[in-house]
Chains A and B, each alone.
Chain A
Amino acid sequence: QSALTQPPSASGSPGQSVTISCTGTSSDVGSYNYVSWYQQHPGKAPRLMIYEVNKRPSGVPDRFSGSKSGNTASLTVSGLQAEDEADYYCSSYAASRVFGGGTKLTVL
């Protein structure tokens, strides 16, 4: 088991697309389709945005999409909007620390 690795920061201009990666191992991300993504605004509770790699809960805009290739999962935000600026965390079943370290997304 090991921790999930995310880039500490990402950025994009309004209307652009940005992709955040989440790298695990063959024992967690690579073995299970149980990768989730969470959005967290300052001072707020996290919000589930993607589960089971690419499924969106009700109410999550379809601008948010998830994918996985090998041991790396990705969250793509298309058509960036100002309100997308937040911290994003991935998680995976069987990952030693469950959550990645988080990525701060800045909308320029």
Chain B
Amino acid sequence: DVQLVESGGGLVQPGGSLRLSCAASGFTFSNYWMSWVRQAPGKGLEWVANIKEDGSDKYYVDSVKGRFTISRDNAKNSLYLQMNSLRAEDTAVYYCAKDLGYLAFDIWGQGTMVAVSS
């Protein structure tokens, strides 16, 4: 089965850091762009970042530039999101998603919750 499984979420204080992971299976991970998408409680979907198949290109939404870093390890079929200087407004469920290459997402993980609060 094609599957994405996120992990690493939790409660963190403002200014803190967290690293999210996404384990992929059932497809050739190294052949696809991958994205992180988040959803604040009761709000809509927000694309956060994406990364090219080989990791050479990365793009971010303005609100996380300089604070978040997307990366991948194709040997481990894994996607990561390093989140630093976290703010209350980063509180959300974070989904990893397989990207068809033009910001369309055909496979989604179940999501991992990140709560930023003191």
Give the residue name and chain of the A residue nearest to B45 (CB): A99
Number of interface residues of B (CB under 8 A): 18
The interface residues of chain A lying within 8 Å CB-to-CB of B85 are: none
Give the residue name and chain of the B residue nearest to A34 (CB): B102
The interface residues of chain B lying within 8 Å CB-to-CB of A93 are: 102-104
A48 to B97, CA, bound (A): 11
Given contacts A45-B95, A46-B95, contact A97 B106 (CB under 8 A): no
Partner of A102, one of B45, B102, B104, B109: B45
Within residues 75 to 118 of chain B, which ones have a CB less than 8 A from any CB in chain A?
95, 100, 102-111
The contact string, 1 if C-beta is below 8 Å from chain B, for chain A 36-53, is 101010000111100110
The interface residues of chain A lying within 8 Å CB-to-CB of B37 are: 46, 99
A-B pairs with beta carbons under 8 Å apart, 22 shown: A32-B102, A34-B104, A38-B45, A38-B105, A45-B109, A45-B111, A47-B108, A48-B104, A48-B106, A48-B107, A51-B104, A51-B106, A57-B106, A87-B44, A91-B104, A93-B102, A93-B103, A99-B37, A99-B45, A99-B47, A100-B44, A102-B45
